[in-house]
């Protein structure tokens, strides 16, 4: 089931139309994720723009699909085992991932607003596969600030480990070690999403959706 969801994420997301309107108003007139701090059009986001950006991207199609990937992985590992197997428990796990993601984002926003962190993903300027892959992983824990410099991704750590409590899971998953594992898993998932964003244009060209 896991490979099928990954294939769906890669293929369907390439068909999604550009969500940035041509005549965007001020809140929408934010730099595109591919325009990094060294681009002439780059600028940091105000708190209002960050809120608007996070709201617009809260449930992007690819995030919803990756929640399905996580649910498939939990189903394969039978976690939590108390929930059982089958389609009903799978959709319960799927809803759990969406809920965890919503909690994560609700923690991340106030943190990034306070510490002047920019959570947008900017594609690597490197040209080698290894370099771009490394930058995608690094961006998960080390990202830009509002001035264009670099800083630790405090919102990532606090959001991922804060949302790992998952109070709707059985009690055995509420220990410190269990939440550490769950939070670390989320960081790895977010790193995978960054890799997806980094190589998505290449995938589109490979699938002949972009020339």
Instruction: Please report the pLDDT score of residue 92 as a whole number.
Output: 96
> Strand 150-152 vs strand 142-144: parallel, antiparallel, or unpaired?
antiparallel
* Assigned domain for 195 exists: yes
* Assigned domain for 23 exists: no
Per-residue pLDDT tens over the stretch 111-133 = 999 999 988 888 898 999 999 99
* Assigned domain for 36 exists: no
Q: Which domain holds residue 54?
A: 2-17+47-206
* Assigned domain for 37 exists: no
* Assigned domain for 24 exists: no
- Mark the ranges of the chain whose per-residue pLDDT is less than 50: 1-34
The total domain count for the chain is 1
Instruction: Please report the pLDDT score of residue 119 as a whole number.
Output: 86
Instruction: Please report the pLDDT score of residue 5 as a whole number.
Output: 36
Instruction: Please report the pLDDT score of residue 42 as a whole number.
Output: 65
* Assigned domain for 12 exists: yes
Segment (H or E) for 144: strand 142-144
Kindly write down the DSSP assignment for every residue of 97-108, as one continuous string: HHHHHHHHHHHH
Measured CA angle at 127 (ends 66, 60), to 5 deg:
20
* Assigned domain for 124 exists: yes
What tokens were used for 198?
């980094």
* Assigned domain for 164 exists: yes
Instruction: Please report the pLDDT score of residue 206 as a whole number.
Output: 87
């Amino acid at each position: 089931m896991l490979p099928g969801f990954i294939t769906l994420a890669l293929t369907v997301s390439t068909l999604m139309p550009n969500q940035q309107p041509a005549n965007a108003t001020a809140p929408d007139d934010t730099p595109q994720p591919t325009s990094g701090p060294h681009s002439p059009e780059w600028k940091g986001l105000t708190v209002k723009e960050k809120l608007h950006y996070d709201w617009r991207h809260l449930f992007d199609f690819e995030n919803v699909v990756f929640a399905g990937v996580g649910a498939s992985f939990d189903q394969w590992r039978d976690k939590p085992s108390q929930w059982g197997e089958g389609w009903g428990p799978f959709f319960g796990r799927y809803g759990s991932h969406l809920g965890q993601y919503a909690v994560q984002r609700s923690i991340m926003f106030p943190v990034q607003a306070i510490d002047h962190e920019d959570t947008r993903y900017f594609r690597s300027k490197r040209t080698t596969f290894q370099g771009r892959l490394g930058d995608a992983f690094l961006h998960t824990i080390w990202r830009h600030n509002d001035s264009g410099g670099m800083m630790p991704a405090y919102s990532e750590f606090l959001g991922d480990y804060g949302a790992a409590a998952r109070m709707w899971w059985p009690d055995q998953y509420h220990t410190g070690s269990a939440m550490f594992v769950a939070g670390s898993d989320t960081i790895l998932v977010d790193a995978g999403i960054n890799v997806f964003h980094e190589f998505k244009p290449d995938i589109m060209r490979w699938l002949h959706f972009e020339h």
